[in-house]
Structure formats: C-alpha cells, structure tokens
C-alpha cells in the first residue's frame, strides 16, 4: 500500500470476504496482516506493513466462535503498539448483543463486557450495523456509528412491487424496528407475540393484526435457528396471507436454520452479507451486500463528513 494513502483497512480471518469488497468500493488495497496459529489454539496477530501515524480501520465481526472477538482485540492492540494515529473497529455484526441487560438473577451483561474489552484494547471509534438493542451504543465511551441495513433492504422490497403489502414483526421486541418500515411504506403493522420456555425454542405464538390476502414482510434484526420466522410464516399462511417473506440484517443460520427455511412456507428470506455463509444450500435466501454502505461511511468518517445520508429509516 502506498505511503501516501491516508488510511489503511485490515481484516480478520473470517471477515476478509466483506473487507475485500469494502476496500474495492473505496479503491484501496486491503492491508497485509499475518495471523499465526499455534498447536494449542493460541494465535498471534501482526501487521506486515507500517501503520505509524495512520488511520487504521479493522474489519472484523464478532460472530461465533470467540476467536473472532479475540482476533479483533489483538488487532486493536497491535495497531496501538505500532503507533497508529486512530484505530476504528468496523464490526458489521456485533455479537453478544442479545445479552444487553440482566433479565434474571446472576447473569452477565455480555454486550457491556465486550464494549469494555474493545475500549480497553484501544479503539477510538466503532462502526457497526443493526445492534440487537440500540442502547448498546451507550456501553461505549467512544463514538459509535450505528448503521442500519435499510438502505439496501428498502430498495429491494420496493423492487418486488407487492400488491397489498403489510409489515410484520416476529416478536413484540422488534415492533419498533418493524414500525419504522410500516411508516415508510405507509402500511399497517402486524405483531407476533411469542412465548419461550428457553432460548431458541418457541412454545406458543399469537398473531395480532390482519394478514388475510396480504403480502407479508417479516422484519427482524437476526435469524439464528429460524424457528421464530418459520413459525410466524406458517401462522400467517394459516390466517390467509397471500405470501410471506422475511428480512433480517444478520443471517446467523445456526443448526437447522437452512432446513427449516427450505421446508417453510416462506417465499423468500432477504439478508445482508454480514455473515459468511454459502447460501446455495438454501435457494430461498437472497443476500444483499452492505459493503458499499460501510465503504461510504469509512470515507465520510475520514473526511469528517456527516453520515446522515446513510439512514433511510
């Protein structure tokens, strides 16, 4: 990379696919890093080019397993020790975000802990997308640019030209997010109320609102095992919906997720590329790239320009 380049972009192991696309959109090569792994599972991170006095953008999501979070922490520490001017963590998917409060006795608040770890490691700023809970931004004592996937999802929904659109939330907790889409499309909102006995298991689901004869778009921030959206889709088809699609920012796709989606009445599942999956195993999944959005945000942060144009909703 040329020494005249004002900032450098580096990537962790599992986020290289999106980091390369971000760098290509900006028109700069991806920085050279070496991550050496030892027999016991420990690893060492080193920059293979100078970062002294530069703005450094580290692209790495903290999805499972925990090695990805540890990689990011070591990257931040290495950049700091190499005299980088500023260190910005670019985290398309911020993991551990579902643990944002104490919802029962004697549990940790993991998202606060991760925020503290990144702050202690030495980040100057965080750029992320669709946090599970907006208030996680307050866990950081550095600026947080919280992006949304709506700039890529909304145009895609518009391109479908659905006849009688209705927006739905698969649970009460996501009602605010879904309502933003409903307001934008000037349509009604339907909410599913679910009851769980334990994580990733839905015991009962109730539908609030009318879907008969409607083209339903389910809006959520993430799809994990796909149990909730598939259950919601089945319920809506039973209530007379004409079609059901799901939109989610983060396609975690754990365990039986792909199988459930293939066997469900869902017409389509629309997700971003914040997760590195081979979606060919599930023809119902459409992947939209958010790399250009992150590239534009990096350029705006570098130039001290507003990022307000990134927000559709």
Distances (CA, A) of 90 to 162, 166, 279, 282: 35, 33, 23, 28
Looking at residues 196-203, what average pLDDT do you find?
Answer: 58
| Cα gap 26→161, rounded to integer Å | 32
pLDDT given at position 297: 98
| Cα gap 239→33, rounded to integer Å | 53
Question: What DSSP state is assigned to residue 31?
Answer: P
Looking at residues 166-177, what average pLDDT do you find?
Answer: 92
The backbone torsions φ and ψ at residue 239, rounded to the nearest 5 degrees and listed phi first, read -90, 10
Looking at residues 218-232, what average pLDDT do you find?
Answer: 94
The backbone torsions φ and ψ at residue 183, rounded to the nearest 5 degrees and listed phi first, read -65, -40
Q: What's the mean per-residue pLDDT of the chain?
A: 93
pLDDT digits (tens, 9 = 90+) for 108-135: 999 999 999 999 999 999 999 999 999 9
Asked whether 183 and 232 are in contact (CB, 8 A), the reply is no
Looking at residues 209-237, what average pLDDT do you find?
Answer: 95
What does DSSP say about strands 268-272 and 7-11: parallel, antiparallel, or unpaired? unpaired
H helices present in the chain, as ranges: 16-26, 67-81, 110-121, 150-160, 175-185, 227-238, 257-263, 291-302
Asked about 194 being catalytic, the answer comes back as yes
Catalytic site residue from 112, 194, 214, 292: 194
pLDDT given at position 181: 97
pTM given for the model: 0.93
Percent of the chain with pLDDT over 90: 87
CA neighbor of 117 nearest in space, from 95, 101, 146: 95
């Amino acid at each position: 990379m040329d020494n005249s380049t004002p900032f450098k972009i580096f990537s962790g192991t599992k986020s290289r696919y999106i980091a390369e696309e971000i760098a290509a959109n900006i028109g700069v090569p991806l920085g050279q890093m070496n991550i050496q792994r030892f027999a016991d599972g420990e690893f060492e991170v080193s920059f293979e080019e100078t970062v002294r006095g530069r703005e450094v953008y580290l692209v790495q999501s903290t999805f499972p397993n925990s090695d990805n979070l540890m990689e990011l922490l070591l990257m931040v520490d290495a950049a700091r020790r190499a005299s980088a001017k500023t260190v910005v963590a670019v985290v398309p998917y911020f993991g551990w975000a579902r643990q944002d409060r104490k919802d029962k006795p004697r549990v940790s608040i993991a998202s606060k802990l991760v925020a503290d770890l990144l702050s202690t490691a030495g980040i100057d700023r965080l750029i992320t997308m669709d946090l599970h809970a907006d208030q996680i931004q307050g866990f950081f004592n550095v600026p947080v640019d919280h992006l949304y996937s709506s700039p890529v999802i909304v145009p895609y929904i518009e391109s479908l030209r659905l006849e009688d659109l209705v927006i739905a939330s698969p649970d009460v907790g996501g009602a605010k997010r879904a309502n933003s889409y409903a307001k934008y499309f000037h349509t009604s909102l339907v909410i599913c109320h679910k009851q769980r006995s334990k994580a990733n298991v839905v015991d009962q689901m109730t539908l609030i609102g009318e879907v008969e004869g409607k083209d339903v778009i389910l809006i959520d921030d993430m799809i994990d095992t796909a149990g909730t959206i598939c259950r919601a889709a089945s319920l809506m088809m039973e209530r007379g919906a004409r079609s059901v699609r799901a939109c989610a920012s983060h396609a975690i796709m754990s365990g039986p997720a792909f199988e459930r989606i293939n066997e469900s009445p869902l017409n389509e599942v629309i997700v971003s590329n914040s997760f590195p999956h081979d979606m060919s195993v599930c023809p119902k999944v459409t992947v939209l790239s958010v790399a250009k959005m992150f590239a534009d945000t990096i350029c705006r942060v570098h130039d001290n320009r507003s990022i307000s144009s990134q927000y559709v909703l």
